[in-house]
Amino acid sequence: MNRRDAIKTLGLAGAGCLNRSSVCHSAERPGNAETPAPLPSDPAAAAHELFERYERRFAAARLRQPDFNPAHPADREAIAAAARKCLGIRADGIPDIAADTAREAKFDGFRVEWLRATSWRGTAASALLYIPEGEHRRRPLVVLCCGHGQGGKLFPGYQRMARHLARRGAMVLCPDNIGQGEREPMGHRRCVVPFACGLSVQGLIVMETLGWIAWAGRQPRVAPERLAAIGNSGGGTLTVFLAALCPQLAALSSSGYPSTFDFVARKEKTHCHCNLLPGVVGQLEMWHLLGSFAPRPLFIFQGSEDHLFPEDLFHHTSRKVQHVYRLLGAEKAFRSRVFPGGHSWDMPRYRPMGDFLAGPLDLGRPPAAENFDEPVLADTDRCWETWPADAIDTDGLARQLTGRRVDDRPSLADVFPPSDAPATLANIAPRGATRQILAQYELFLANTDENEITCKDC
């Protein structure tokens, strides 16, 4: 047994001791690791004790995490397999996207096409395609992955980034994610049926994005060897998974998210359900996925005043990813940076993004004078005048893809019941109901063996 394994063995022994309802001197109170002590009768005290028990379970899960090294091909394959398993993704679930141009308009240095699309059967989709002006030739294409910006692809920060890149010579595809932007009628933030079907909201988003990337690579005006993906916040989540699951990409940037899954999972708040990743804690960390992109060019960054993700965790993850690039002799292909400012993309981040992509995508120099305050498209500038009445929603999509019947609208706690939770729980966390938060904990710690799916009618 080497030193690392010995430390892990000792840690697991300690975690087993900590997994009791009190610490190792638990002889003072009844209960053990297999049979915890009874919860206090006071609802607030009982809720507090349950939070403590989950904290110990998270610690034990971290100690059991596989010792992956993304620099090794076999580990890289295992990382991708673990990511697909956590999200409920499989290759035959990737949709074959069909898109038509609903209208187009010309702007200074580029034009925009409004795309109406279908991804899976009955699933309406929408995207903006930015096309640089100039000679007709195959161009690089950047998939701009949206986060939770108001209006989806029409969020001003996304539009300004897309315009900057288009003026430097890249086509930019900006799709609305499932249930966001003009696809809001599909449902997104509180969808539970995908989890009941063995899928996840983020898994559906990842599969559809892989479909869009495949669509882009087939377009005669696109250079398929020069595809890239970028994203911030929720788009940062998406690009973290694309790092390990999309070998077609020549470059990638993830921002406003790179930290640790353990940190995200343990937040005492109600998450948007696209943030919920079944079984990821104890299976994967973000640096595993980002490191899997090596030796291709990768840029991760965040704002110094981003209150959602601590700067220290960003540097922790960046160090690990940089080490993978160093092991592969590609240290110069990796960049990380902390910009002044908050969580969202802003003007100081547009040009560095373009500079990063310029090398692998062969982009031109930025315009000599660029007005980042120019008017952008309004929320009314949509691809669909009205949302199709017969379009499937997110819950219906999950049922269709898996063939599973989930007849009612379950709560997350119905699908991932918190361990040992009584019928009555006091709400003691300021940013969410206790039962919902504990169900999220149970989900993040879930046994991913239960997340296999059988895709039908894809």
| pLDDT at res. 7 | 40
> Which residues 6+ apart lie within 8 Å of 211 measured at CB?
94, 95, 96, 97, 119
Closest C-alpha to 239, from 281, 290, 189, 277: 290
Closest C-alpha to 458, from 123, 198, 189, 191: 123
> Which residues 6+ apart lie within 8 Å of 121 measured at CB?
392, 400, 457, 458
pLDDT tens for 115-134 read: 999 999 999 999 999 999 98
pLDDT tens for 170-228 read: 999 999 999 999 999 999 999 999 999 999 999 999 999 999 999 999 999 999 999 99
Mean pLDDT of the residues in the chain: 91
Rounded distance, CA 68 to CA 73, Å? Answer: 10
Residue 154, SS3? Answer: helix
pLDDT tens for 262-285 read: 999 999 999 999 999 999 999 999
**348, pLDDT greater than 60:** yes
| pLDDT at res. 135 | 73
Enter the tokens of residue 383: 């691809």
Q: Which residues pair with 205 in a beta bridge?
A: none
| pLDDT at res. 269 | 97
Rounded distance, CA 106 to CA 113, Å? Answer: 9
Amino acid at residue number 138: R
Residue 336, SS3? Answer: strand
Rounded distance, CA 382 to CA 209, Å? Answer: 19
Which residue in the block uniquely carries the two structure tokens 């001791």?
A: 17
pLDDT tens for 30-76 read: 445 567 789 999 999 999 999 999 999 999 999 999 999 999 999 99
**449, pLDDT greater than 50:** no
Rounded distance, CA 280 to CA 294, Å? Answer: 21
The Cβ-side half-sphere exposure at 57, using a 13 Å CA radius, reads 23
The Cβ-side half-sphere exposure at 18, using a 13 Å CA radius, reads 17
Measured torsion, CA atoms of residues 134, 143, 213, 403, in degrees rounded to the nearest 10: -140
| pLDDT at res. 137 | 85
| pLDDT at res. 86 | 97
| pLDDT at res. 369 | 85
| pLDDT at res. 18 | 43
| pLDDT grade for 407, boundaries at 50, 70 and 90 | confident
Rounded distance, CA 3 to CA 9, Å? Answer: 10
The Cβ-side half-sphere exposure at 23, using a 13 Å CA radius, reads 0
| pLDDT at res. 15 | 45
DSSP letter for each residue of 196-263: HTT--HHHHHHHHHHHHHHHHHH-TTEEEEEEEEEEETHHHHHHHHHHHH-TT-SEEEEES--S-HHH
Percent over 90 (pLDDT), the chain? 85
**370, pLDDT greater than 80:** yes
Q: Which residues pair with 336 in a beta bridge?
A: 300
